[in-house]
Structure 1
């Protein structure tokens, strides 16, 4: 049986505990990061779509750091976007600020009708650096 080593960024664990999931799980040399959204401190959606996307990336980076990774360790990305036709240009504007240089990770984009009040969510899988112990926090 695989051991789930839960990872939480500083200061946000209560939001994950309330909703009964981990921000990320380390297992078998990988970091599986739950979908990150652009929430304010209280967990409510940031109303401005560009700022919501930026907050989602900032929160993603905090989870990656808590897991011993950075975005350069990400190998697979899934993006969820409500009304992609309306918001895709904003996403392409924000993405380069967080994506880093090529080669880029694999990417799947999914248009959805509902994200619990959010317009954007990002979920990733990262490879743990070789120097990172599998169960260090």
Structure 2
């Protein structure tokens, strides 16, 4: 088996090592980013929901940057959220505009969940690697 081309940002290794996964893997011209949560460097959750979402986006930004990508390269987003019926609009309307910029936006799927290992929000993306062939 070929070694995975894993991408690790500076910091936050406690969470990745504790749960045995790579933050992102390059393959086929794309970057597949594992779900990013609003964790501090020690892996603990940020308690305030809006701040947890902002920290999840900051953590995602660090993973993208470590691979030479930005939010402009993101083509697909999956969000997992505890109780999205009462919380989604609050966080999506206040945090997302700071990151996605103008349309066209990436595709998105939001999934309501009951458990995220102590977190309330997780975001997973696929990004096109700069220099990869356009399709």
| TM-score when normalising by structure 2 | 0.91
Structure 1 segments, 4+ long, off by >6 Å, are none
Counterpart in the other structure of 2:4: 4
> Matched residues in 2 for 1:42 and 1:65: separation?
21
Aligned length: 131
Partner residue, 1:42:
42
| Residues 42-80 of structure 1: per-residue CA shift (max 9 Å, x gap) | 111111000000000000000000011001000000011
Retained in 2: the 8 A contact 1:3–1:27? Answer: no
CA RMSD of aligned residues (A): 1.4
Counterpart-to-counterpart distance in 1, 2:52 and 2:11: 19
Aligned to 1:56: 56
Normalised by the length of structure 1, the TM-score is: 0.90
Partner Cα distance (1:69, 1:80) in 2: 22
Task: List runs of 5+ in structure 1 lacking aligned partners.
Answer: 132-137
Residues 3/100 of structure 1: CA separation in 2 closer, same or farther (3 Å cut):
farther
Unaligned 5+ segments in structure 2 are none
Rounded Cα–Cα distance in structure 2 between residues aligned with 1:5 and 1:100: 29
Q: Is the 8 A contact 1:26 1:32 kept in 2?
A: yes
